[in-house]
């Protein structure tokens, strides 16, 4: 009886998404594939010592055997650590310092298995297994047949399985057993650079993620199948467009076949007429490329949300032999053109590349933040719903771009689909090369390029993808810049042979090694000095020295909310800060110094006061820096904050925390990134009571809309909310795509102010409707005195850091046991927050 129930269970879990069978007669719009998604909770997992799984014969288990039913439960897509956490084998690696306790996991190989039934007839079909992504290396068996091996976390791979598949109308005889052996993850990133996400840097601790992180599907087609479709679009001078459908087609049989290809396009998110073309080709055995052009008379272009509508098309391609269908593909794409222009004001002796992005001929000023993702480094903990939430938050923060930079992997398809639909562009390091430690073996270098090509081919139909970059701080970290540049140039050439997008080899390109490699002194700046050299200058005295065409990174840190802290910091380490703060990258020295710069004090009276102050400090530094950079438009063409999110609960860069909760800094960024922004330009934040407040009123307009007969209201209030002065200024016209100073401010009204004062700005149209609002606060104090204090805090921090490396958080704790309340030797009480 038990055995019958198990057989019934195996049959039940073999359900799948079935479309019309290959070899049937369908309309062009109907899918002619059988697709079975093996994703879900039907997987099992088992731990083995390296090499023992094969030695013990796990790959030879009979397909109908029930032994794997007692293995631990697992989920695909997912990761090993999350599966172990769910079953209680490890404690939550995100909580406290549990990640240290889980390091044993990465010393083993992990076997994943799934049983499924195939009862459908597969005559005249080709059945394959599609693995969309396995991190990092694996071997695959089906019913004891070794299908092959794969290395590379980001590249998809497939196996044809007709010869290994068991097909029957009888349940036992139709049972199939798929086995995937995950190797222990690589321990040296330099040997897998560009093929696996770096697991180091000041983002994470030494726990190396791995797993089957993207779906596994079984797909059936006819003998002639479509391997790839690329919608290569061109906008003509007469404003018509061409859609060149580049088809990669494989005839898996050993005889030529007369095949008819039908291709059609129509609007996906707008109404349009269906355009269909048909051609017949003799397809010889093997792999071939065909190009079919479709002319579009009045194309609806894809735009970033602040320049127009993100119009999307869908293309359907079917292939049939006579009336019998073999295969079908549907892809979404957009018609848009991406070009680059030189930033005005910079000579070619100062920069090597044009850094102004044009979308369909219009200037796309990049208001961005680094993605810092995926949302979780353990991908089994996230979901498409979280992606939707985060993309929505990015757009609501007035961002028009997301930068996926070279410490983080290319994202899942849903990410790009959401960006396509939202009108958010993507600035993409194609594969993560956040290290200068490239391998010297030519085969390994070729493997990186091959991985990158597969990544870009999978993502190139997404109109949101507008810019490719080869590396992130690669030259900054290499001892051989000429070798690194040679590789990056080869990478760029390979990528651009597959997609027509701009390519920049590295970022920032202003370091010493970049200069040795031949790059120019003004290429771009990573605005990180304020954080990493904290205390050398107050924020406004620092950022006003920066003059570059683009800012790929602008960084400052903060602590998540108290509510979020409770989810990953043990209660007895919450306040004063315990070691888990340091483990999650809280730099207590710098956080207090940021607070001092912004507020004139460290704000350590309570947990909530300190947390809120760090978030406000992050936001104010971001706001003031962003506005400074934006006032340099068009000389400067883009900003990316570091970061929008990070991939575990930390005390670091993100303006949205790991629980998708915006920090207080998010609102400051949202304000500073308004496409139409009224802005106050000032030289300092600390003023004397006896001096006049001086500054300038600017308006930055990233829209391609002119505004006429506007009014600006300018108000100064003291720290009790009393209005010290309020003025209205008439603005005859605000030009499209512009940044302009309109008025000088010179107000002698600070005599009665005690500690701080506020400025409020409001831009209104001629009907009194608010177009933009902005506000700031300033301190009564002395800039030189504050700078001296800031320098002194830096000296104290450097003295502490002299004993430890940057990542060693024990520098904040005299004795690592004090998080338990008392020193175990002397019984001394736990110190106050100010002692840290």
> In this predicted structure, what is the pLDDT of residue 702?
98
pLDDT at 834: 63
Q: Which whole-number Å values give the CA distances from 465 to 334, 360, 474, in the listed order?
A: 10, 14, 22
- pLDDT of the residue at 800: 82
Yes or no: domain 224-333 corresponds to CATH 3.10.290.20: no
In whole numbers, what is the pLDDT of the chain averaged over residues? Answer: 92
Asked if residue 2 has pLDDT above 70, the reply is: no
Domain definitions of the chain by residue range: 2-220, 224-333, 338-440+465-478+504-567+614-673, 678-783
pLDDT above 50 for 14: no
pLDDT at 293 over 80: yes
Residue-level pLDDT at 815: 52
Fold of 338-440+465-478+504-567+614-673: TIM Barrel (3.20.20)
Residue 82 DSSP SS3 = helix
What digits encode the pLDDT tens for the residues 771-818? Answer: 999 999 999 999 999 999 999 999 999 988 888 888 888 888 765 444
15 confidence band (pLDDT: 50, 70, 90)? very low
Query: Band of the pLDDT at 821, cuts 50, 70, 90?
Result: very low
Q: What is the pLDDT of residues 702-753, one digit of tens each?
A: 999 999 999 999 999 999 999 999 999 999 999 999 999 999 999 999 999 9
pLDDT at 178: 98
pLDDT in tens, 89-131: 999 999 999 999 999 999 999 999 999 999 988 988 999 999 9
Rg from Cα positions in the chain: 29
247-269 confidence digits (pLDDT tens): 999 999 999 999 999 999 999 99
Question: CA–CA distance from 99 to each of 92, 102, 350 (Å)?
Answer: 8, 5, 45
Fold match, 224-333 / 338-440+465-478+504-567+614-673: no
Average pLDDT over residues 532-557: 96
Task: Give the mean model confidence (pLDDT) for residues 629-650.
Answer: 96
Does the pLDDT of residue 833 top 80, yes or no?
Answer: no
The yes/no answer on whether domain 678-783 falls in CATH 3.40.50.300 is no
Q: What is the pLDDT of residue 29?
A: 64
Structural domain 2-220, CATH architecture: Sandwich (2.60)
pLDDT exceeding 70 applies to what percent of the chain? 93
**What pLDDT digit, counting tens, does each position of 127-146 carry?**
999 999 999 999 999 999 99
Helix (H, G, I), strand (E, B) or coil at 610: helix
Work out the pLDDT band at 831, boundaries 50, 70, 90: low
Tell me how far apart the alpha carbons of residues 644 and 686 are, in angstroms, rounded to a whole number: 29
Contact 303, 357 (CB under 8 A): no
Q: What span, in angstroms and rounded, lies between the C-alpha atoms of 694 and 703?
A: 29
DSSP assignment string, 388-406: HHHHHHHHHTT--EEEE-T
pLDDT at position 493 is 96
Asked if pLDDT for residue 462 goes beyond 50, the answer is yes
- Which pLDDT score, from 0 to 100, does residue 200 have? 81
Check whether 276 has a pLDDT greater than 70.
yes
What average pLDDT does the segment 394-418 reach? 95
Nearest in space to 353 (alpha carbons), one of 514, 478, 505:
505
Instruction: Note the pLDDT of residue 32.
Output: 57
């Amino acid at each position: 009886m038990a055995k019958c129930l198990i057989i019934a269970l195996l049959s039940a879990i073999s359900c799948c998404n079935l479309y019309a069978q290959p070899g049937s007669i369908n309309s062009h719009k109907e899918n002619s594939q059988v697709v079975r998604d093996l994703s879900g909770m039907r997987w099992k997992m088992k731990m083995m010592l390296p090499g023992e799984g094969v030695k013990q014969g796990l790959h030879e288990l009979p397909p109908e055997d029930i032994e794997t039913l007692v293995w631990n439960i697992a989920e695909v897509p997912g990761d090993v650590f999350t599966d172990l956490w769910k079953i209680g084998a490890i404690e939550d690696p995100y909580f406290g310092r549990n990640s240290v306790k889980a390091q044993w996991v990465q010393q083993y190989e992990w076997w994943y298995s799934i049983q499924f039934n195939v009862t459908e007839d597969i005559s005249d079909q080709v059945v394959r297994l599609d693995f969309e992504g396995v991190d990092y290396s694996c071997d695959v068996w089906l019913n004891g047949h070794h299908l092959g091996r794969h290395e590379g976390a980001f590249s998809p791979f497939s196996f044809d399985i007709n010869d290994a598949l068991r097909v029957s109308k009888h349940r036992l005889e139709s049972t199939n057993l798929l086995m995937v052996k995950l190797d222990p993850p690589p321990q040296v990133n330099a040997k897998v650079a560009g093929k696996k996400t770096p697991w180091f840097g000041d983002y994470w601790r030494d726990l190396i993620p791995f797993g089957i992180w993207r779906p596994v599907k079984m797909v059936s087609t006819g003998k002639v199948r479509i391997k790839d479709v690329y919608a290569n679009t061109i906008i003509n001078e007469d404003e018509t467009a061409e859609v060149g459908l580049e088809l990669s087609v494989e005839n898996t049989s050993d005889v030529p076949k007369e095949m008819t290809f039908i291709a059609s396009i129509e609007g996906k998110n707008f109404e349009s007429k269906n355009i269909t073309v048909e051609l017949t080709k003799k397809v010889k055995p093997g792999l071939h490329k065909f190009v079919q052009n479709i002319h579009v008379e009045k194309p609806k272009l894809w735009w970033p949300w602040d320049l127009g509508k993100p119009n999307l098309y869908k293309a359907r391609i079917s292939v049939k032999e006579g009336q019998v269908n073999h295969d079908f593909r549907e892809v979404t794409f957009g018609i848009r053109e991406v070009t680059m222009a030189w930033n005005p004001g910079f000579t070619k002796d100062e920069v090597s590349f044009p850094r102004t992005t044009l979308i369909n001929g219009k200037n796309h000023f990049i208001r961005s933040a680094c993605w810092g993702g995926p949302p979780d480094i353990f991908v089994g903990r996230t979901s498409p719903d979280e992606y939707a939430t985060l993309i929505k938050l990015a757009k609501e923060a007035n961002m028009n771009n997301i930068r996926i930079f070279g410490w983080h992997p290319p994202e899942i398809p849903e990410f790009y689909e959401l960006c396509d639909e939202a009108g958010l562009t993507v600035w993409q390091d194609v594969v993560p090369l956040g290290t200068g430690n490239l391998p010297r073996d030519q085969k390994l270098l070729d493997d990186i390029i091959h991985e990158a090509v597969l990544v870009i081919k999978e993502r190139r139909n997404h109109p949101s993808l507008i810019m490719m970059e080869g590396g992130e701080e690669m030259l900054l970290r290499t001892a051989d810049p000429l070798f690194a540049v040679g590789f990056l140039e080869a990478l760029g050439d390979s990528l651009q042979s597959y997609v027509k997008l701009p390519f920049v080899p590295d970022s920032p390109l202003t370091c010493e090694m970049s200069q040795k490699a031949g790059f120019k002194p003004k290429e771009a700046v990573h605005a990180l000095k304020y954080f990493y050299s904290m205390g050398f200058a107050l924020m406004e005295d620092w950022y006003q020295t920066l003059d570059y065409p683009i800012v790929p990174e602008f960084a400052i840190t903060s602590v998540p909310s108290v509510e979020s802290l409770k989810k990953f910091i043990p209660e007895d380490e919450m306040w004063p800060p315990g070691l888990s703060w340091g483990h999650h990258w809280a730099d207590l020295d710098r956080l207090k110094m940021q607070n001092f710069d912004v507020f004139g004090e460290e704000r350590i009276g309570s947990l909530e006061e300190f947390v809120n102050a760090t978030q406000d400090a992050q936001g104010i530094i971001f706001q003031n820096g962003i506005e400074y950079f934006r006032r340099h438009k068009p000389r400067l063409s883009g900003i990316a904050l570091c970061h929008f999110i990070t991939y575990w609960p930390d005390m670091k860069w993100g303006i949205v925390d790991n629980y998708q909760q915006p920090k207080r800094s998010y609102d400051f960024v949202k304000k500073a990134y308004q496409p139409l922004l009224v802005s106050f330009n000032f030289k300092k934040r600390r003023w004397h009571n006896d001096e006049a407040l001086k500054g300038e009123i600017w308006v930055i307009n990233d829209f391609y809309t002119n505004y006429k007969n506007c009014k600006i209201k300018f108000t100064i209030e003291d720290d009790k909310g009393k209005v010290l002065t309020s003025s209205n200024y008439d603005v005859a016209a605000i030009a499209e795509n512009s940044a302009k100073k309109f008025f000088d401010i010179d107000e002698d009204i600070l005599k009665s102010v005690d500690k701080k004062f506020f400025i409020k700005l409001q831009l209104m149209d001629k009907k009194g409707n608010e177009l933009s609002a902005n506000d700031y606060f300033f301190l009564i104090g002395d800039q030189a005195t504050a700078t001296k204090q800031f320098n002194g805090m830096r000296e104290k921090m450097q003295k502490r850091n002299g004993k430890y490396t940057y990542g060693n958080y024990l520098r904040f704790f005299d004795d690592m046991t004090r998080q338990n309340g008392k020193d175990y030797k002397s019984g001394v009480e736990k110190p106050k927050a100010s002692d840290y």
